[in-house]
Amino acid sequence: MEKTTIKKLLGDYKKLIHHDITVQGWVRAFRSNRFIALNDGSTINNLQIVVNFEDFSEELIKNIHTASSLKITGELVESQGSGQSIEVLAKKIEILGDNFFEEMQTTILQPKKHSLEKLREQAHLRFRTNLFGSVFRIRHAVSFAIHQYFNQNEFFYLNTPVITGADAEGAGEMFGVTNFDLNNLPKNEEGEIDYEQDFFGRKTNLTVSGQLEGETAAMGLGRIYTFGPTFRAENSNTTRHLAEFWMVEPEVAFNDLEDNIDLAEDFLKYVIKYVLENCKDDLAFLDNRFAEEQKTKPEKDRAKEGLIEKLENVIEKRFKRVSYTEAIEILLNSKENKKGKFQFPIENWGTDLQSEHERYLVEKHFESPVVLFDYPKDIKAFYMRQNEDGKTVAAMDVLFPGIGEIIGGSQREERYELLKTRMQEMHVDEKELWWYLDTRKFGSVPHAGFGLGLERLVLFVTGMSNIRDVIPFPRTPKNAEF
């Protein structure tokens, strides 16, 4: 007898009609002691099992509840009822494991509406819900599409270190890595902690970006991308920040800023299209949830488009490309700014944009994804390529509706003298990054790259609103349960 997933079965059942099949899964509902809705995680759709209770012991029937795990063998038939195409007439039912009925009543497995906060408190069980099943199947599809995109475009997947000695960009606080006994730290003659005695003989941290290492690889392999965990100890308890998240960082030799923007746009559209084509059932469910959620909001806060509609619009339109300088003009002249509606008013050229400004540009002014480029050099990292004007660098950020920044990138400074000077100006330790500077000495070439936060893209594609709900086990300030 063939074991099969429910997804496979629902997709291709014709040749199995009137055959016996075996399925395994969890009970989502057991109606009238007769109909079991069985789910195995392979799809959001359940398989209906028809139980003729005369064929089974009372004891067995009594022990089947919501959340029970079952192995069922029976005949596959076309369904008599409406609502499903096929069902299984159970011949053999085996309960696979314990199900503590009383305790189950207080968990999120109990079939009723639970708040997202409560689902988060039981993150180890939330995979069993329709919502999180859909979110994590889509997260998988997004990751798969990312690898597929780069593979098709001749990029090499490069693994950069998780433990690093360099503070890549001063991007937020870093988590230290040590095997010192924290209650007994060795001190040097100056009374400071003596990292020379630590495991690596130096101070080390969890990486905030694989970019600098990625650049060195691109200087030989040409086109690379990294895709790995990234850590930032920034204490920003927002719905868009995690302390541990997954970042995708392509780095391409011979690309300039415009090539970099083209790549980012093409890449995002490819991944979103992949999800639209391959995750139809999960998207339909999320689209519906999104619409329901909008109804609970005040009129003015409601999204103008449905989830699927939003995704379709993003892949059709060309992203708006706007320089930082133009964006500042728009913001300075906006009603919001003049009436003091921004929490951080825009006063002059040179200020960093906050999420509220980014979202104004995307959601109100352009009503389209926006790529901002050529930012003031003083608000950007040392490695970005300096423009002719002496004021700006060849940076670019991709801003998405509902999210704000989803990608941050730049053309890199490939000119040795300029990079070295910039490092000195910005107090970046040359001795620590000697190997990075070295790549500008031996056949340096123009190159560019960017970083995409995987979770921000999954947020966008699933229509979820809190980043904690699109990563299986979120790490945020004061929270590392599970």
Considering beta carbons, is residue 6 or 454 the nearer one to ligand ATP? 454
Residue 171: contacted member of Mn ion, ligand ATP, none (CB under 5 to 8 Å, by partner type): ligand ATP
Given Mn ion, ligand ATP, none, residue 407, with its beta carbon under 5 to 8 Å by kind, binds ligand ATP
Q: Strand 223-231 vs strand 156-157: parallel, antiparallel, or unpaired? A: parallel
Closest distance to ligand ATP from the beta carbon of 115 (Å): 23
Binding track over 217-236 against ligand ATP, x by CB under 6 A: ---------------x----
# chain residues binding ligand ATP, by CB under 6 A: 15
Query: Please, which of residues 16-45 interact with ligand ATP by CB under 6 A?
Result: none
Q: Which of residues 439-468 bind ligand ATP (CB under 6 A)?
A: 451-453, 455-456
Instruction: Identify the CA nearest to 405 among candidates 173, 238, 180.
Output: 238
Binding ligand ATP (rule: CB under 6 A), the pick from 407, 428, 448, 461 is: 407
The residues in 401-420 that bind Mn ion, with binding defined as CB under 5 A, are: 408
- CA nearest 213: which of 451, 425, 456, 394? 451
3-state secondary structure of 104: helix
Find the residue with minimal CB distance to Mn ion.
408
For residues 304 and 155, give the distance between their C-alpha atoms in angstroms, rounded to a whole number: 37
449 CB burial (10 A radius; 0-12, 13-18, 19+): buried
Cα(464)–Cα(293) distance, rounded to whole angstroms?
10
As beta bridge partners, residue 89 has 50, 75
> What mask, x for binding ligand ATP by CB under 6 A, covers residues 132 to 171?
---------------------------------------x
Residue 241, binding choice from ligand ATP, Mn ion, none, Cβ under 5 to 8 Å by partner class: ligand ATP
Residue 247 interacting partner from Mn ion, ligand ATP, none (CB closer than 5 to 8 Å by kind): ligand ATP
Q: How far is the CB of 408 from ligand ATP (least distance, A)?
A: 3
d(CA 413, CA 419): 6
* AA identity, residue 388: E
Angle between helices 257-278 and 280-295 (to 10 degrees): 100
- The beta strands (E) that lie in 195-340 are given as 204-206, 223-231, 244-253, 320-323
**Which residue's CB is nearer to Mn ion, number 408 or number 446?**
408
b/e map 285-308, b = 16+ CB within 10 Å: bbbebbeeebeeeeeeeebeeebb
Write out the residues near Mn ion by the rule CB under 5 A: 408
Write out the residues near ligand ATP by the rule CB under 6 A: 171, 232, 241-242, 245, 247, 405-408, 451-453, 455-456
